[in-house]
Amino acid sequence: MKPMNIAIAGASGRMGQMLIAALQQAPDARLAGALERAGAPAIGSDAAAFTGARAGVAITDDLAAGLAGAEVLIDFTRPEATLAHLAYCAAHGVKLVIGTTGFDAAGKAAIAAAAEKTAIVFAPNMSVGVNVTLKLLEFAAKQFDLGYDIEIIEAHHRHKVDAPSGTALKMGEVIADALGRDLKACGVFAREGVTGPRDPSSIGFATVRGGDIIGDHTVMFATEGERIEISHKSSSRQHYANGALRAAHFLADKQRGLYDMYDVLGLNG
């Protein structure tokens, strides 16, 4: 089988380095390009230098050069950077795996529009375990539709810039959809002072930021006399990288369209 040519955005970041390390070990994929923001210290260096080996691919801030030989770009950067990459990829037929979080409605609309020109997997979390957890939450929410208060607690490292996490929001969306609610209307994202009794139809969010926490998510269904908790805890970014590579290979025979990890894992339906 011919290896898939994959470029990585944010090549010198934590997730970028994990993806490059995974590509170095993958027999069915190869690193074809490595992108960074203009002025990044790593520009010009070998993309795999942090491993003590060489990939033969230099990190660049030039989109045309970084994507020249790529079939797919994997992007876990920031919304503004991803949207710039998105426009170039849509115009030049490069497929995308987007794990970036924090998009507003306009950003999400831009991704949907680009999917009319190229194939995209867009998901707030690429972990196989997280996506199976989402499916479990969909089932659980339907069973706990009456008399259960729903709270979502998430914790991440001190460097994460958006809150709640994209994964926590996705959990809330899955639960709200299962219950026939609109998360924009029922989500509670802050509590302070005298808040009054809890609205039984609300879905609450709590955010923790500190240290080097990779990512912890817990959904609590609480009622009189019992509490059910469904949790996913990450101790490494490796499973995100593995899921992203799986998503890239899913796109191999796709020309255009917008997909998520449910599509990649066959969890729809």
Report, as residue numbers or ranges, the catalytic residues. Answer: 156, 160
Q: Output phi, psi for 151, to 5 deg.
A: -130, 140
Chain center to CA of 95: 16
What gap in Å lies between CA 126 and CA 247, rounded to an integer?
8
Q: Among 73, 172, 175, which residue's Cα sits nearest to residue 121?
A: 73
Q: Among 260, 243, 235, 212, which residue's Cα sits nearest to residue 22?
A: 243
- As given in the structure block, the two tokens for residue 115 are 């999917």
- As given in the structure block, the two tokens for residue 116 are 């009319």
Element (H, E) at 186: helix 183-186
Give the amino acid at 69: G
Q: Is 66 helix (H, G, I), strand (E, B) or coil?
A: helix
Q: How far is CA 154 from CA 125, 165, 208, in A?
A: 13, 7, 6
CB 188 within 8 A of CB 204: yes
Q: Is 163 helix (H, G, I), strand (E, B) or coil?
A: coil
